[in-house]
């Protein structure tokens, strides 16, 4: 065994416990951007502290925002004081889609040159829609024609164009990036999507909700997801004292642990209403035979005596796919996951990666045009599972390791992207101490 291999703990009994999940990455990074553009100070309580959010905080600091850490009994809050946006600055995007898509739009409002680059895999993630949208808004972007990282935004300090058309069929982040900054354009902006249906629509609802919380007027017409429109009116983005919800997508592997071991796991502080796509886990795991209860204590999942497969469209909740696919690989009936072709452009080609890794351990997974078909297998066995620098591939492998002896995971540390303490949290839960 080499240093970068992690032996996935095997569950020899039903897993039970309570797992406190840190704050939402999506909400934390949106709150950071809005706070950096606000008309006064903001406080972000219970944010996620992980690689993606640290990259966002560092990017906004580089552009002039002041972001300070405040220790509290519940953890470390962020106090954000807006500053004059300016270059020159160099932004490390890592592998964070929110940083590489949201911050260039912020840089359009800065004075000076802002250069962007990231991890090696980040250079193959789709960026042309962001670059083209900025250019149509009159922003000078130098990408050497690549439509990808690295590139430089030559900010002039203002955006006067008030209408932009973007094809966001590869990622809803292309629209969210513009939504978050458009109130600061001279005349606001009408943002139109033209193309195949946008995936991950709940993330757009999250962006709109967080804008409205800060006093921004946003008109939404998304009845036709292939021809949608958002009108963001010019005006102040108010400072806000905001509490970040737990990251429901990061709850997926812990809930899955109950599902695949006939156990019982509770996630405290699960919101009654939310725009997070992870909330759909409740329905998904119920459909697969589990029992899911939402109470004042939190969300409690009890695993079934027979784990059933599922036929489901996850276009709006694609980030749940790796863990859901892992559960499907352990089910007694076939599964089909549809609507997720866009996952080929995530941290890795998640469809190819999932099919490869499930088959590596003796599973039966096949790629389709827009998803996966997973058949039951009685030949599952241990193996070294690759993670492709993808945090969700790592957590999916951990779920499989609960039932399959001898699963070893390459680079479990990649989970630090959104869940820095995953290894300890996982071992604590499996050992029955959570």
pLDDT 10s digits, 290-306: 999 999 999 999 999 99
pLDDT band at 4 (very low <50, low <70, confident <90, very high): confident
pLDDT given at position 272: 94
Where is average pLDDT lowest: 269-283, 311-325, 340-354? 340-354
In sequence order, the 6+-apart residues with CB closer than 8 A to the CB of 151 are: 104, 115, 116, 127, 131, 141, 142, 143, 144
Q: Does residue 71 carry a catalytic annotation?
A: no
pLDDT band at 37 (very low <50, low <70, confident <90, very high): very high
Residue 327 has pLDDT above 80, yes or no: yes
pLDDT 10s digits, 24-33: 999 999 999 9
The string of DSSP codes covering 152-179 is EEEEES-----EEEE--TT-THHHHHHH
**pTM for the full model?**
0.90
Contact 170, 126 (CB under 8 A): yes
Residue 289 has pLDDT above 90, yes or no: yes
Residue 74 has pLDDT above 90, yes or no: no
In sequence order, the 6+-apart residues with CB closer than 8 A to the CB of 30 are: 98, 102, 176, 180, 206, 207, 210
DSSP, collapsed to helix, strand or coil, labels residue 92 as strand
How many residues are present in the chain? 434
Distances (CA, A) of 362 to 331, 373, 374, 378: 14, 15, 12, 8
Where is average pLDDT lowest: 67-71, 182-186, 348-352? 348-352
Residue 17 has pLDDT above 90, yes or no: yes
pLDDT 10s digits, 44-65: 999 999 999 999 999 999 999 9
Calculate ∠ Cα 204-173-150, nearest 5°.
Answer: 165
Checking phi first, is residue 230 left (phi over 0); if not, alpha (psi -120 to 50) or beta? beta
The pLDDT of 157-185, averaged and rounded, is 96
Q: What's the sign of the alpha-carbon dihedral 135, 139, 143, 148? A: negative
Q: Which of 192, 319, 347, 408 is catalytic?
A: 319
**Residues β-bridged to residue 266:** 18, 300
pLDDT given at position 142: 97
pLDDT given at position 282: 98
Tell me the pLDDT of the chain averaged across its residues. 96
Residue 387 has pLDDT above 70, yes or no: yes
CA 154, CA 114: separation in Å to the nearest integer? Answer: 6
pLDDT 10s digits, 347-370: 889 999 999 999 999 999 999 999
**Residues β-bridged to residue 66:** 81
CA 281, CA 215: separation in Å to the nearest integer? Answer: 31
């Amino acid at each position: 065994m080499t240093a970068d291999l992690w032996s996935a703990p095997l569950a020899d009994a039903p897993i039970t416990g309570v797992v406190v999940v840190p704050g939402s990455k999506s909400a934390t990074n949106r709150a950071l951007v809005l706070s950096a553009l606000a008309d006064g100070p903001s406080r972000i309580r219970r944010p996620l502290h992980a690689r993606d959010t640290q990259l966002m905080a560092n990017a906004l600091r580089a552009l002039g925002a002041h972001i300070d850490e405040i220790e509290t009994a519940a953890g470390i809050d962020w106090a954000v004081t807006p500053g004059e946006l300016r270059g020159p600055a160099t932004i490390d995007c890592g592998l964070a889609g929110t940083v590489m898509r949201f911050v260039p739009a912020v840089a359009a409002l800065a004075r000076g040159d802002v250069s962007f680059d990231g991890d090696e895999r980040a250079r193959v993630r789709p960026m042309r829609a962001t670059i083209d949208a900025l250019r149509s808004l009159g922003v000078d972007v130098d990408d050497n024609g690549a439509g990808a990282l690295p590139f430089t935004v030559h900010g002039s300090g203002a955006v006067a164009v008030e209408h932009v058309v973007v094809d966001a069929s590869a990622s809803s982040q292309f629209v969210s990036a513009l939504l978050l900054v458009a109130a600061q354009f001279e005349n606001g902006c009408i943002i139109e999507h033209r193309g195949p249906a946008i995936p991950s629509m709940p993330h757009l609802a999250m962006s709109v909700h967080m804008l409205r919380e800060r006093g921004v007027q946003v008109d939404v017409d998304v009845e036709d997801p292939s021809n949608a429109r958002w009108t963001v009116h010019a005006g102040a983005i108010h400072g806000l004292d905001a509490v970040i919800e737990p990251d429901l997508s990061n709850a997926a592997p812990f809930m899955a642990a109950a599902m695949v071991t006939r156990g019982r796991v509770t996630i405290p502080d699960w919101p009654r209403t939310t725009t997070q796509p992870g909330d759909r886990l409740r329905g998904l795991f119920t459909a697969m035979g589990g029992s899911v209860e939402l109470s004042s204590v939190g969300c409690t999942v009890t695993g079934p005596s027979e784990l059933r497969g599922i036929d489901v469209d996850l276009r709006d909740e694609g980030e749940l796919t790796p863990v859901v696919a892992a559960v499907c690989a352990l089910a007694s009936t076939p599964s089909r996951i549809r609507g997720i072709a866009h996952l080929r452009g995530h941290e890795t080609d998640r469809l190819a990666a999932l099919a490869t890794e499930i088959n590596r351990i003796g599973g039966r997974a096949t790629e389709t045009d827009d998803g996966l078909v997973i058949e039951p297998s009685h030949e599952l066995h241990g193996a070294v599972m690759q993670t492709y620098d993808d945090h969700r591939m790592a957590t999916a492998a951990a779920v499989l390791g609960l039932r399959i002896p001898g699963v070893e995971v390459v680079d479990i540390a990649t989970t630090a992207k959104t869940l820095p303490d995953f290894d300890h949290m996982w071992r604590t839960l499996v050992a029955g101490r959570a």
